[in-house]
Amino acid sequence: MKLGLALALLILPVPAAAARSGDQAFASIPGVERPERARQNYILKCQGCHGPTAQGNRSNTPPMADMVARFLAVPGGRAFLGRVPGVATAAVADAELAELLNWTLYRFDAAHVPPGFKPYGAAEIGKLRKAPLRTDAASTRRVLVDDISKAQAAGK
Ligand code: HEC
């Protein structure tokens, strides 16, 4: 970066919303056209259960922080993320939902996004959400979490 530009960036005021969310650190997230829109959608549709830092809550919602992208590494995990009830039934159009899920992965668990990850797109999400998990969500999740633990133990 040129020194002049670097100085200008230091001096320019950061927009309040970006400063609050830390989104400037994720200026370019694969599969996320508008990070600010994704953040708003998260606040409105997901945060009530998952919490502002995706820490979840002890009574009914498991943490996504430092965890959610691990599902991408086990068979069936990618589909699971698009089929959990909170995602599949969210009142958001397919393209925005794909964006929101991609944002969620990078925002809360960038470290575990596998190399070569292909972001979710509208068509894939549209298909997955047509087969939402319902009462079987928790049991499906348990099997996948078990697979994740086994893969970890095997050093994968
Ligand atoms: C009513 C509470 C609730 C809302 C609202 C909700 N979720 Fe969830 N979410 C859960 C629970 C509980 C699970 C665990 C799986 C299950 O039993 O459904 C989960 C699981 C997930 C998972 C799979 C990862 C895991 O650890 O199981 C993702 C990804 C996810 N949610 C994203 C979202 C997104 C994005 C939104 C907003 C569009 C959202 N959720 C809204 C409760 C919620």
Q: What is the pLDDT confidence band of residue 156, given thresholds at 50, 70 and 90?
A: confident
Interval 10-65: pLDDT, tens: 554 444 444 455 555 556 999 999 999 999 999 999 999 999 999 999 999 999 99
CB distance 143 to ligand 1 below 6 Å: no
Interval 126-144: pLDDT, tens: 999 999 999 999 999 999 9
- The answer to whether 90 and 97 are in contact (CB under 8 A) is yes
Residues 6+ apart with CB under 8 A from 39: 21, 23, 103, 107
Q: State the distance from the centre of ligand 1 to the C-alpha of 85, rounded, in angstroms.
A: 7
CB distance 62 to ligand 1 below 6 Å: yes
Q: For the whole prediction, is pTM greater than 0.85?
A: yes
Q: What torsion do the CA atoms of 95, 100, 101, 102 make, to the nearest 10 degrees?
A: 90
Q: Which domains does the chain have, with CATH numbers?
A: 16-153 (1.10.760.10)
